[in-house]
């Protein structure tokens, strides 16, 4: 699937520079529409960052040892899926929608179609799937956002569909 | 919901010591049954570990700054949901099922019913929900596992439902 990227803050498509926060006031539910897209980022994944994360949070041989990884399901060193998820969050904090009050997810679905490898450079491409005011809490609503985390070859490493808590305009 | 815990490796319920890997041969699909339970762990969450993870992966004020966090959605410093997920993976690597070839998830659902706070001590309680041989790949199958990450008061901080890739017996 090819996604045409439109960046709300006026930066170029596939922006890899940090947006100027002053240009991006906090978005409320009323500012977000189905089909809105956000993108950007360039996190370089290395053997060292893969191993450092894995030693702390996912100490399995295919994440910590190149030699052992060769004989594993992954056929070589691969980042923990949770490392890919954490790097995705880093990219979303910078390049995702600048929601008033912050980017807060209550739940999500995550899939890892292929492993993240040393040498990959990650960016995110986000699309708003739904915008739903809360029935019980008039001050907020839920935004469903799909985020693809891709490497420099456009290969999809992670698909995240997250329910974000977004305040309504006061 | 109260979960009665039975630990397959023979350790006591709610074991907080690392199981002896020699006692736990790698499990294949045939070794895993619906209703099997696994549990254990004791990861202490601190202000410092919350901030360190957040600075690297989720640099939002409610994860990095106690003062700013007071006026946020969370009402005080809270761990990134991805930090809770990463700590859960650490606990699963030690206390989850010792699957032959490692604990490998292809996709999952995650919910964070309440935030992880400084002072929380995390453990996991897992239950096998389904065991399904692959139709197309005779050498493996899928295990659906639900994992609750709880603190020392038994409060559920995260619910993870993951599809694990599990090899069949050769």
B95-140 pLDDT per residue, tens? 999 999 999 999 999 999 999 999 999 999 999 999 999 999 999 9
Average of per-residue pLDDT across A135-152: 97
What pLDDT shows up at residue A25?
A: 64
Please name the residue of chain B whose CA is at the shortest distance from the CA of residue A63: B102
Closest C-alpha to A129, from A157, A93, A88, A164? A164
Interface test with B, best of A73, A92, A104, A142 (most B CBs within 10 A): A104
Q: pLDDT band at A170, cuts 50/70/90?
A: confident
Residues with pLDDT less than 50, chain B: 1-24
What pLDDT shows up at residue B25?
A: 64
Strand partners of residue B149: B124, B158
Provide ipTM, 2 decimals.
Answer: 0.87
Beta-carbon separation of A89 and B58 below 8 A = yes
Q: Would you tell me which residues 17-36 of chain A have a C-beta closer than 8 angstroms to some C-beta of chain B?
A: none
Measured between beta carbons, the chain B residues lying within 8 angstroms of A112 are 105-107
A82 in contact with B at a CB cutoff of 8 Å?
yes
Q: Would you tell me which residues 88-117 of chain A have a C-beta closer than 8 angstroms to some C-beta of chain B?
A: 89-90, 93, 101-112
Beta-carbon separation of B73 and A110 below 8 A = no
Beta-carbon separation of B111 and A107 below 8 A = yes
The DSSP secondary structure of A69-112, one letter per residue, reads HHTSTTSS----HHHHHHHHHHHHHHHS--BTT---EEEEEEE-
What pLDDT shows up at residue A13?
A: 38
Rounded distance between C-alpha atoms, residue A43 and residue A83, angstroms: 12
pTM of the model as a whole:
0.87
């Amino acid at each position: 699937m090819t996604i045409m990227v439109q960046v709300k803050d006026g930066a170029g498509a596939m922006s890899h520079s940090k947006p100027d926060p002053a240009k991006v006031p906090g978005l409320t539910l009323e500012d977000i529409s189905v089909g809105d897209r956000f993108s950007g980022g360039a996190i370089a994944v290395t053997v060292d960052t893969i191993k450092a994360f894995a030693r702390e949070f996912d100490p399995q041989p295919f994440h910590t040892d190149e030699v052992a990884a060769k004989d594993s399901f992954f056929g070589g060193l691969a980042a923990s899926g949770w490392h890919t998820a954490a790097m995705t969050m880093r990219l979303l904090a910078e390049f995702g929608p600048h929601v008033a009050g912050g980017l807060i997810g209550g739940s999500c679905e995550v899939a890892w179609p292929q492993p993240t490898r040393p040498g990959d450079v990650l960016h995110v491409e986000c699309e708003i799937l739904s915008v739903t005011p809360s029935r019980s809490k008039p001050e907020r609503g839920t935004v469903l956002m799909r985020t693809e985390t891709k490497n420099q070859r456009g290969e999809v490493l992670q698909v995240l569909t997250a329910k974000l808590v977004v305040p309504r305009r006061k």
